Structure 1
Amino acid sequence: MGENSQLSDVVERFMRYVRVDSQSDPNNEDQTPSTPQQHEMASMLGEELRTLGCTDVRVDEHAYVTGSFAASAGAEDRPALMLCSHIDSSFDAPASGVRPHIVHYEGGDLVHGLVDGEPVVTTLEQVPDLADFVGQDIVCSDGTTLLSADDKAGVAEICALLARLVANPALPHPTLKVAFVPDEEIGHGASLLDLGALGARWGYTVDGEALGEFNYECFSASEATVRVRGVMVHPGSAKNVMVNAITVASEFERMIPASERPEHAEGREGFYHPTGISGSASDVTLTYILRDFDAADFARREKTMRDVAAFLNDRYGADTVTVSIKEQYRNMAEKFGPNDQQLIDYALEANREVGIEPVAVPARGGTDGAQLTFRGLPCPNIATGGYNAHSIREFVPVRSLELTVDLLERLVAKFAGVPASAPASTKS
């Protein structure tokens, strides 16, 4: 597909949305949204939802966008279903001035663009799935920024679904509640979403990665802040008096199991991850994130941090080391009950109906769905088709964007009470 070729609706939307700056800022997390640019994205999406026929569209002062899309004939009494994506982009890579373009991939390295005369590439070794995309069109940035497929691909896929339902009124679906939320990348996400006003019984986030991956469990997560207070005197008279905070902090880090760091973990294995250090010989602050799928193992990790602090305090004196732990989110699987099984079954069926063999993958991270599930709205996560999130090598195949819209069409039909064998549109 050349740049001037006719783009499908979902691809046109995606290419347009990623050009709007909306990066979140972890250094301004006390304010929601954390960046003013997210207001621009929210305002635009509010207008998009109105144009698509949504009612009760609201864009609030925190850049939350919500709206209702009426049920198809005969499905008015079915419980409402929420579809949710986030509007912010990651702060892990440059995200301002995204310039998306389409590469026709012929195999080998995927060349995103040239930066200072050097190609920015993704290799088959880095992403073996590239072998499945030979001969396909792939959306990339130019290599200077991330693409923002996380999660503007999800935003585009939800809006393209609504456009399809408007164009084809006979397609079955319950009342759909749409929610676009800010600051997911810094842990706020759906925290201020008014679930009572939203009125959905169930929901899905559209915020996953490779097509076919489905998440109904995720890490439980905490952030630990370790404060080390030293005792400083002149080094010439320091014997048996000085307590160097740098030395004690180094001891603390060495006592955290080295084999349980993220660079050694995969699958269902959790980790301790030191993310920051600052200070001096008199005062040092360490920050860690703790992650695990199993509730008992997660509690063990938090206990390990406190036990190491207690050991060092016995050696150097009370309150030399203090540990404060802030819970960030929990494994959503802990809250799924028997009545929520259809959320999982329907998603797996919808994947198969559009020719995708799904795989349930425990998400090694968090989604808004974890937070929403613990707030009483069961909410697993659907893939968007993207790869290399939070990176200048982020990309998403065109066909994956289009297939996700097909999948969502099949999925919402099931919540209208339509059998799985019902025909679905093949339009993109």
Structure 2
Amino acid sequence: MFRATLEGMANRVAVRWADENPQMEETGQAYQHQTAWLDDLPSQRAFGVKEMIFSLGEASQAEAEAACYTHLMTRRLPQVQALPGERVGRPCAVLDLRGWFDTLRWRFWSEPRGYTGNIQSGGREASFGHSLAVQRVAQSFSSGLAGGWELSEVWVKLWKVGAPSDQVVVSLCADQNGLPGTVLASVSLSTGEIASEPGWVKVFFPEALMLTGGTMYWVVLARSGGISATQYFGVRREEDARIPSGAFKVFNGTTWVNEVAPGHLVMGVLGRQESTEQLAAVAGAAGGGQFLRGVRIRQASGVKAHLFRAGKWNALEEVCRLLQMGTAGGERLLARVNPERVLVVEKRPGPEQPTLRILPGGEVVHLNGRRLLPGENPAGRWAVLDHLVRMEGKVGAPEVVYLTRAEWRDNGVRVSWE
């Protein structure tokens, strides 16, 4: 007897590997790389695109690329396995089926928008507000060419030297001829929010700020008080150019100038987008929804989540992550694929009007006692637990439960609930 499965098949593969990176000396961590995706087009035309990422550990790029090709050649077709000891009296086939929703796991999801920076860098110490020559510091960055996004927060590695009594003012500025221009938003940080050792400080701007695609902006750090050679503030600078298209400047009281040694401020700029808007993209045709015919959002979440995704998780994992955030009102969100093969996202119905009943023997029936027909799916509906027994009047199961899973076996249906 043989078993053929798509479970281990992959017709688009990549391999991740690590090597020793001198720039990570402070943490002792290896820097991770990933090969380019390798495709088998005939298999993709026959079965759809099914991606898989393998890990090789410490290796060279050539070794990783060789492993990538080997994985593709051995996994590009459905995996056939012999099942020893299984005998059947006549030819037969057993189908183990999964729904369209499960095919979201076939593709990985990456979103380049919503992040720019070099937060993985260690950098070297630099100061501002300690001399007239370095009164402020500024770092430019590009929002990228993939379209605009809403600013979520700015991360800066910052600390105080001595005991300054003034504040650090963090501003987002427009670009004006390659220099910081109009202030778009600013936040003041008290010295109580800044440690005496280098540490990450997360800055939220009160206004909702949309960054236009392909546009340069500046993050400017200044102190609110006067110059002091003993009471000032420090930042980290990465001597390599690690922020694409960016530049680092210092303000000397008259104009913005370059420092003698080139480098970039160690920082990160993150964006956000409503979770259900992201979900529509993740499950869309350009994401994991290659077999779906669309995505319909019936209930916008009102919850904004980080936008940038590095491609480490598949589309199904990303969709589940976004669903778990629920709505701004604390309500659960559900996703289902309807008969038209459209993914529908909606708010979970309330328990006020249950439509099913679970009998003491575990059978699921309608409220009027009618048995479920073979094609009726009880999952995603509320049910009354019939003849509920409470232990000593203290703790017991709820009288109405939400059915999350249904399994048909031995001419019956078994359900799980929460």
TM-score (structure 1 length as normaliser): 0.28
TM-score (structure 2 length as normaliser): 0.28
Which structure shows the bigger proportion of residues in strand conformation? 2
* Bigger Cα Rg: 2
Which structure shows the bigger proportion of residues in helix conformation? 1
